[in-house]
Amino acid sequence: MRLKSIELSGFKSFAKKTPLEFASSITSIVGPNGSGKSNIAESFRFVLGEQSMKSMRGRRGEDMIWNGSAAVPRAGRAGVKLVFDNSDRALNLDFDEVSIERVVHRDGVNDYLLNGSIVRLRDVAELLSQANIGSSGHHIISQGEADRVLTASSRERREMIEDALGLTAYLYKREEAGRKLDKTAENMREVQALRRELAPHLKFLGAQVKKIEQAQALREDLAVLYAEYLKREQTYVSITKKELAGELHEPSAEHKTLSERINHLRVSLSKKLDDKGASELVRLEEESRAVAKKQEAANRELGAVEGELRAHERLAKEAGGTVPVAEARGFAERVLKELEAGGNIAALVVLAKEFLRRLTHTPTAGHSKGELETKKAQLEKELAHLRTQEEHTRHAVAKLRKELESEKDLSRDAERELFAAMARRSELETSLAGLRAREEMLKRDEEQYKQEFREAAVLLGHLPETEVLFDDEPREAQAERRRKLERLKIRLEEAGLGNSTEVLREHQETTERDAFLERELQDLELSAGKLRQLIEELTKTLETRFVDGIDKINTEFEKFFKLMFGGGSASLAIVKDKKLRRGAGEAHDGDEEEIVDTDIEVEEGVEISIALPHKRIKGLHMLSGGERALTSIALIFAMSQVNPPPFLILDETDAALDEANSRRYGDMIETLARHSQLIVITHNRETMSRAGVLYGITMGSDGVSKLLSVKFEEALAVAK
Ligand code: ATP
């Protein structure tokens, strides 16, 4: 990569567009004091992105813009453009020529352009760092600032050396990685915050889902239990129904038969002959008594008739004697008297015999024998008839009595049967009532079963198939099952599965979101880890390169130092400055505990030690102006030698050198020019003589710096 040209327009004293070509490896800029030479050096700083106005002798951006003079009006903007030949692609851009331009406007706004396109300052800085053009400007040595490397703090010095060693690119990378790490950490905090925010909701949803799952399990348990319960109930109802029907069959039939029999017995018992038979018997007995009376009367009459007939026969034999009536009457009265006195049979027999003796001697008067005989036959006939009649009645009574007797027996049997039947029937009715009650209960069970079946269908949709054998378990087991069902139903109700699908969906979404965030966090952690590793690696690289670089610089430093001073020695050393840094406690005044809790920060810096030949001087502060200039030139050149920058600008770095040292300086310039393009602003003839191209700067009364290419001899004239 080679610096082709720089073009100033409106920058400081360069009011007009002024291009400088750098065709040679050493370009010298000469001119009288105040003509604008240093403005050119500063234009390099400017275009390379210098942010410190002070280092460009200004206070603000506007100070960089041509401020006008009596002859030339002030400009609105200052622009500087650098052009590089990039055919070796040292700058990572696919262009043979790369231009970098910076423009500052009066309002202080800066534009950076890369090949004409607006870019960020960072883009410019990063691009240049690839070509070892760092931002510390170590390759632009301003007027009077050559010993800056000596006056700087060890830490600043370290930065300058890092820059010179081309470690800026690594530093940029490390910074970039650090920024990314910060950003990653911030993202991680955000993601963590999001997860923290999500956590209680997720926890809540998780608990809900658990409840829902428990309820689902409950529902499944319920379905299984319901299925068994209902199946058992159905089996129970149908089997018990059959059983009851079987048990009812016989007693019902018997009851029916018994009822019929009872009715029949009742009917037949109500038809008994008792009363009718008794009155008939009375009638028959009266009839019998009447016949007996008639028989007695007929017998008495027959006796009288037969007596008369016998009297007739005696009379006939004895010529008839009769018994006086008075005598008969007397006999009857005595018989009666005897009867009334208690009736002595023997006395009555005496009486009767006597009377009969008398009668035998008393003839009857009145009736003829024929009449008496007719009468006798008549009476005998009558008696025979009465005897038949009596016989007949006696038979009838006996028959009736027998009939009545047997009827009485019959009705007693019927009654016995009736009572037995009624007893049996009431016995049957009791057991039938029991059976009916069971039937009634079963009917209720069946109703309940149907109701429960409907309920289960509504509650559970469908029931699992189940095979339940009727294992004749006690009915209580089924009741226990139902109580369990009720308890399950209550628990299910309490679980309240209202908007379960919504909760499940939200839980899933939230879980997914959380998982996404977790993955993102893992990714972030991974990239944070990678970044930390990168930073560590870069730090290591920087460390080794730095240590390595210091070694190399030391070799060159020693060489240049000896060359400049004709002896002595010089070296750089890495030092670790321990610095107490107050922690958070700083914000809380007087908080001793916090102050005690401080960090010790180790800062690495670079110290310079020198030993002049034949002198005992060791400290930098004891050097003369010239010695200081020589020491800093030795160091600057050593740095540039180890890692040559594309170009090096030296603004009157040689001002303090005497003739002998000017020559040595000239030699060193030529050595450096092998690897870097040199732009030297100088009044020194020796230095001028080493340049391939010379530019003379002049300033007229218009205050505008003008550029002219000059020959060596002309340059000497211009410089004066
Ligand atoms: P020396 O040899 O004495 O170091 P030099 O050639 O380096 O001088 P510079 O310091 O580059 O001279 O130029 C200084 C000149 O530039 C001054 O005359 C100053 O007035 C002029 N100048 C600086 N800034 C501006 C500006 N913004 N507008 C116009 N002129 C400016």
Q: How far apart are CA 40 and CA 62, in angstroms?
A: 17
The minimum-distance atom of ligand 1 relative to the CA of 42 is 11
**Helices H, strands E: what count in the chain?**
16, 14
| Nearest atom within ligand 1 for CA of residue 11 | 27
- Helix, coil or strand: residue 671: helix
Residue 709 CA, ligand 1 centroid: distance in Å: 19
Which atom of ligand 1 approaches the CA of 32 most closely?
Answer: 2
Which residue among 12, 57, 720 is best mutated to probe the pocket of ligand 1, counting the most ligand atoms within 8 A of its Cβ? 12
Q: Which residue has its alpha carbon closest to ligand 1 atom 11?
A: 36
Task: Output the CA–CA distances (angstroms, integers) from residue 286 to 121, 280, 282, 364, 688, in the order listed.
Answer: 168, 10, 6, 38, 201
Residues 513, 516, 520, 521, CA torsion sign: positive
- What is 567-591 written as a DSSP string? S-EEEEEEEEEEEEE--GGGGSTT-
Question: For a substitution probing ligand 1, which of 9, 35, 679 has the most ligand atoms within 8 Å of its CB?
Answer: 35
Residue 601 pairs with which residues in a beta bridge? 579
Report DSSP state, residue 621.
G
Closest-CA residue, ligand 1 atom 3, reads: 33
How many other C-beta atoms can be found within 10 angstroms of the C-beta atom of residue 52? Answer: 9
Structural tokens at position 642: 């180890």
Going by alpha carbons, the residue nearest to atom 13 of ligand 1 is: 36
List 580's β-bridge partners, or say none: 600
Ligand 1 midpoint to CA 364 (Å)? 229
Best mutation site among 16, 38, 77, 653 for ligand 1, i.e. most ligand atoms within 8 A of its Cβ?
38
> Considering the entire predicted model, what is its pTM?
0.58
Ligand 1 atom closest to the Cα of residue 39 is: 11
- Ligand 1 centroid to 43 CA: how many Å? 12
Q: Are 561 and 592 in contact (CB under 8 A)?
A: no
If we measure between CA atoms, which residue out of 48, 53, 56, 65 comes closest to residue 10? 65
Which residues of the chain are modeled with pLDDT < 50? 320-321, 364, 583-597
DSSP 36: S
> Ligand 1 mean position to 719 CA, how many Å?
15
Question: Given the DSSP bridges, would you call strands 140-141 and 569-581 parallel, antiparallel or unpaired?
Answer: unpaired
Contact 421, 261 (CB under 8 A): yes
**Enclosing H/E stretch for 28:** strand 26-30
Residues with Cβ < 8 Å from 252, sequence gap 6 or more? 432
How much distance in Å is there from the Cα of 328 to the middle of ligand 1? 225
CATH 3.40.50.300 assigned to domain 1-133+645-720? The reply is yes
Contact 112, 102 (CB under 8 A): yes
- Centroid of ligand 1 to alpha carbon of 37 (angstroms): 7
CA of 58 to the centre of ligand 1 (A): 11
Any residues with Cβ below 6 Å from ligand 1, and which? 12-13, 31, 33-39, 63, 66-67, 143, 703
- Cα–Cα distance, 43 to 132 (Å, whole number): 19
pLDDT of residue 365: 54
Interval between CA 639 and ligand 1 midpoint (Å):
30
CA-nearest residue, atom 9 of ligand 1: 36
Residue 464 one-letter amino acid: P
pLDDT at residue 597, rounded to an integer: 47
Looking at ligand 1, which atom is closest to the CA of residue 697?
A: 6
Atom 25 in ligand 1: residue holding the nearest Cα: 12
Question: How many angstroms is it from 635 CA to the middle of ligand 1?
Answer: 29
Contact by Cβ (8 Å): 231, 466:
yes
Atom of ligand 1 nearest to the CA of 683: 2
Question: Residue whose CA is closest, atom 29 of ligand 1?
Answer: 13
Which tokens sit at 682? 């100088």
Query: And the tokens for 207?
Result: 């608990």
Tens-digit pLDDT profile for residues 649-700: 999 999 888 888 899 899 989 999 999 999 999 999 999 999 999 999 999 9
Q: Distance, CA 138 to ligand 1 centroid (Å)?
A: 22
Return the ligand 1 atom nearest residue 40 CA: 11
Tens digit of pLDDT for each residue in 598-643? 556 667 788 899 998 888 777 788 888 888 888 998 998 899 888 8
Task: Give the start-to-end residue ranges of the domains of the chain.
Answer: 1-133+645-720, 215-247+274-495
- Cα-to-centroid distance, 622 and ligand 1 (Å): 33
12 CA → ligand 1 middle, Å: 7
State phi, psi for 673 to the nearest 5 degrees. -65, -10
pLDDT of residue 272: 63
Burial of residue 314 (number of CB atoms within 10 Å: 0-12, 13-18, 19+) = middle
Which pLDDT score is estimated for 397? 85
Ligand 1 mean position to 663 CA, how many Å? 29
Task: Tell me the CA distances in angstroms from 629 to 38, 137, 654, 661, 667, one per residue in order.
Answer: 18, 18, 8, 10, 16
